C-alpha cells in the first residue's frame, strides 16, 4: 500500500512523484517506483456489494466508519463484518483505509491491512462484502440504471446501466452489436436481450461464426437444397429460418467470410434471401439479428476484412460489456452465483474474507470464464470442506493457465493504480513476478502469449 512518509498531502500535484514505501525494495538491486498522479477535480464514491445488494455511496469530506452497527456511517449488511470495522477518509486524489480492530480483517489489494492508501478501482474487502472506490462527478449520468437482469449476477453501476440498455433495446427489432473481451458474458447478455423482448416466446438460435469451416458458413446461415454442393445430402433450412420469429445470435461476427457478407446485408435490409441451390424467389428473414465480437470490428473494416456497409448496419446499437476488472464490485456476487451453480457437485461453499480479498485483487484477464475455472479448481482442492480458504484460491490462480493478455506499460500503470500503488498486489493480479511487473511499467514489454 502506498504510505507517504510525510503524511498525506491534501492534493497531489500533476506529475508529483510519490514513492511506494511498502514496496520499496529491500535489496540493493531494486529500484524505487515512481508514479505520476493527475489530481481529480471530482470526489469519490464507493460501490458497495453486501447482503443488501449493490449500491453507491458518495464519500464526503469527513472520515466515515464502515461497519455492521446501525450507527456506522456506512452500514454493511453482513454478519462477518464488525460493528465498527474500518474507517475511510478522503485525501484529495487518495482515500485512506484504516482497520478499526475488526475481527475478520480489512483487505486492500488482496492483503490484510492495518492502514492503506487507495485510489480509483481499489477494492476494500470486509467480511463477505466489498467496497470499490470509484470516481464521482456531480453530474455523473451516463445512462439510466435498472434492476439486474435475471440470471446475470452483479449489481455494479456499469451492470445496472447495461441492464437498462438491454431492456430498452429488447423492445426493438433492429440489430445489436455486443462488444466485450472474451469470457465477459456476451452470450449471457444476448440471451437476456432475447428473454426481455417480445420475441422471448420464439426460438433463440446461436451460431459461432468462427467455429464453422469457412465454406459452410453461408449454407449454415441461409440453408441449402439437397445436392446444392458436394456433401449437401439433405436439404437444410439454415439458422435464419430456424430463428424465424425469434433471435439469431451470430458470435464472432468478425470471422464472417467476406463473400458471405453481402447476403447477410441483404437479409438485414429486409430483402428475400434464397437457400443455396434454391430456384425462384426466397423468403424474407424474420429473425432479430444480434452479433458479438471480442475484437474491434472497425479494425477489421480498416483491414478490408469486413464490409463497411455491413458494419454500419450492425453497429446501430452497440452494447459494451466492461471487463470484470472494471467492475470489481461484481466479482464476489458473480463468484457466489457460480458457487451456487456448482452446489450439486461440491456442496455449497462459502468464501472466507481472505479468499474474497484474493479474488478481488486479481485482474481476471479471462473475465468470468477464468473466475469460473478458478472456483472450480479451488472447490476441487477443498475436497468436501465447506469453506474456500485463500490458500486454495491462490493455488487455483497459480494453476489456471493465463488467458494471453499483452500487458503494455499503460495497462500495467492502470493495474498499479487499481492496487493503490502496491507493486506486489498489482503483480499478483497481473500474474507476473514483481520484477517483470516493474519492467513492464518502465518498458511495456508484455508477457508473451502462452
Ligand X SMILES: Nc1ncnc2c1ncn2[C@@H]1O[C@H](COP(=O)(O)OP(=O)(O)OP(=O)(O)O)[C@@H](O)[C@H]1O
Compare residues 67 and 322 and give the one whose CB is closer to ligand X.
322
Rounded least distance, CB 75 to ligand X, Å: 26
CB closer to ligand X, 91 vs 369: 369
* Beta carbon nearer to ligand X, 175 or 366: 366
**67, 101 Cβ separation under 8 angstroms:** no
List residues near ligand X by CB under 6 A: 152-154, 180, 182-188, 251, 294, 334, 337, 368-369, 372
Give the nearest residue (CB) to ligand X. 185
The CB-of-359 to ligand X minimum distance in angstroms stands at: 14
Select 135 or 337, whichever has its Cβ closest to ligand X.
337
CB 317, min distance to ligand X, A: 18
> 82 vs 156, which CB is nearer to ligand X?
156
Least distance between ligand X and beta carbon 108 (Å):
24
Which residue is associated with the grid cell 458473480?
A: 334
Q: How far apart are CA 96 and CA 3, in angstroms?
A: 10
Q: How far is the CB of 193 from ligand X (least distance, A)?
A: 12
Name the minimum Å distance from CB 371 to ligand X.
Answer: 7
CB of 338 to ligand X, least distance (A): 6
> Which of 249/311 has CB closer to ligand X?
249
Based on CB atoms, which residue is closest to ligand X, 53 or 60?
Answer: 53
> In terms of CB distance, is 119 or 291 closer to ligand X?
291
263: number of CA atoms within 13 Å, CB side? Answer: 19
CB of 158 to ligand X, least distance (A): 11
Q: How far is the CB of 28 from ligand X (least distance, A)?
A: 45
Q: Which is nearer to ligand X, 121 or 254 (CB)?
A: 254
Encode the chain in three state secondary structure.
CCCCCCCCCCCCCCCEEEECCCCCCCCCCCCCCEEEECCCCCEEEEEEEECCEEEEEECCCCCEEEECCCCCCEECCCCCCCCCCEEEEEECCEEEEEECCCCCCEEECCEEECEEEECCCCEEEECCEEEEEEEECCCCCCCCCCCCCCCCCCCCHHHHHHHHHHHHHHCCCCCEEEECCCCCCHHHHHHHHHHCCCCCCCCEEEEEHHHCCHHHHHHHHHCECCCCCCCCCCCECCHHHHCCCCEEEEECHHHCCHHHHHHHHHHHCCCEECCECCCCCCEECCCEEEEEECCCHHHHHHHCCCCHHHHHHHCCEEEECCCHHHCHHHHHHHHHHHHHHCHHHHCCCEECHHHHHHHHHCCCCCHHHHHHHHHHHHHHHHCCCCEECHHHHHHHHHHCCCCCCCCCHHHHHHHHHHCCCCHHHHHHHHCCCHHHHHHHHHHCCCCCCC
Longest pairwise C-alpha distance within the chain: 82
Q: Closer CB to ligand X, residue 183 or residue 365?
A: 183
CB of 148 to ligand X, least distance (A): 8
CA-CA distance, 231 to 450, in Å (whole number)?
Answer: 37
Amino acid at each position: 500500500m502506498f504510505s507517504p512518509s510525510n503524511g498525506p498531502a491534501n492534493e497531489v500535484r500533476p506529475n508529483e512523484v510519490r514513492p511506494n514505501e511498502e514496496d520499496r525494495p529491500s535489496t540493493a538491486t531494486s529500484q524505487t517506483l515512481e508514479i505520476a498522479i493527475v489530481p481529480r477535480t471530482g470526489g469519490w464514491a464507493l460501490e458497495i456489494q453486501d447482503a443488501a445488494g449493490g449500491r453507491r455511496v458518495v464519500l464526503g469530506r469527513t472520515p466515515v466508519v464502515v461497519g455492521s452497527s446501525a450507527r456506522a456511517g456506512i452500514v454493511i449488511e453482513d454478519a462477518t463484518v464488525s460493528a465498527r470495522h474500518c474507517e475511510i477518509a478522503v485525501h484529495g486524489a487518495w482515500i485512506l483505509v484504516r482497520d478499526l480492530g475488526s475481527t475478520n480483517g480489512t483487505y486492500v489489494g488482496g492483503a490484510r491491512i492495518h492502514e492503506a492508501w487507495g485510489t480509483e478501482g481499489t477494492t476494500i474487502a470486509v467480511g463477505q462484502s466489498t467496497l470499490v472506490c470509484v470516481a464521482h462527478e456531480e453530474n455523473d449520468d451516463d445512462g439510466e440504471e435498472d434492476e439486474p437482469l435475471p440470471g446475470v449476477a452483479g449489481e455494479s453501476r456499469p451492470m445496472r446501466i447495461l441492464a437498462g440498455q438491454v431492456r430498452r433495446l429488447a423492445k426493438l427489432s433492429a440489430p445489436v452489436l455486443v462488444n466485450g473481451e472474451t469470457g465477459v458474458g456476451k452470450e449471457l447478455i444476448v440471451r437476456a436481450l432475447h428473454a426481455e423482448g417480445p420475441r422471448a416466446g420464439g426460438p433463440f438460435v446461436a451460431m459461432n461464426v468462427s467455429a464453422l469451416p469457412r465454406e459452410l458458413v453461408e449454407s449454415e446461415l441461409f440453408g441449402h437444397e439437397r445436392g446444392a454442393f458436394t456433401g449437401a445430402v439433405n436439404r437444410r433450412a439454415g439458422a435464419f429460418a430456424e430463428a424465424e420469429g425469434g433471435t439469431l445470435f451470430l458470435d464472432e461476427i468478425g470471422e464472417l467470410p467476406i463473400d458471405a457478407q453481402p447476403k447477410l446485408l441483404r437479409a438485414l435490409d429486409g430483402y428475400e434471401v434464397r437457400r443455396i441451390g434454391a430456384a425462384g424467389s426466397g423468403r424474407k428473414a424474420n429473425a432479430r439479428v444480434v452479433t458479438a465480437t471480442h475484437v474491434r470490428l472497425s479494425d477489421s473494416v480498416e483491414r478490408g476484412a469486413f464490409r463497411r456497409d455491413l458494419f454500419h448496419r450492425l453497429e446501430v446499437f452497440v452494447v459494451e460489456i466492461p471487463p470484470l476488472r472494471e467492475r470489481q464490485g461484481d466479482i464476489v456476487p458473480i463468484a457466489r452465483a457460480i458457487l451456487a451453480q456448482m452446489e450439486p457437485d461440491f456442496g455449497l461453499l462459502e468464501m472466507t474474507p481472505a479468499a474474497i480479498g484474493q479474488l478481488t485483487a486479481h485482474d481476471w484477464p479471462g473475465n468470468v470464464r477464468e473466475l469460473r475455472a478458478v472456483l472450480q479448481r479451488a472447490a476441487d482442492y477443498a475436497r468436501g470442506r465447506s469453506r474456500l480458504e485463500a490458500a486454495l484460491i491462490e493455488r487455483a490462480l497459480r494453476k489456471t493457465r493465463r488467458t494471453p493478455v499483452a500487458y503494455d506499460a499503460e495497462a500495467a500503470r492502470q493495474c498499479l493504480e487499481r492496487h493503490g500503488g502496491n507493486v506486489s498486489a498489482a503483480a499478483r493480479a497481473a500474474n507476473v513476478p514483481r520484477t517483470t511487473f516493474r519492467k513492464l511499467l518502465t518498458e511495456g514489454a508484455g508477457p508473451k502469449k502462452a
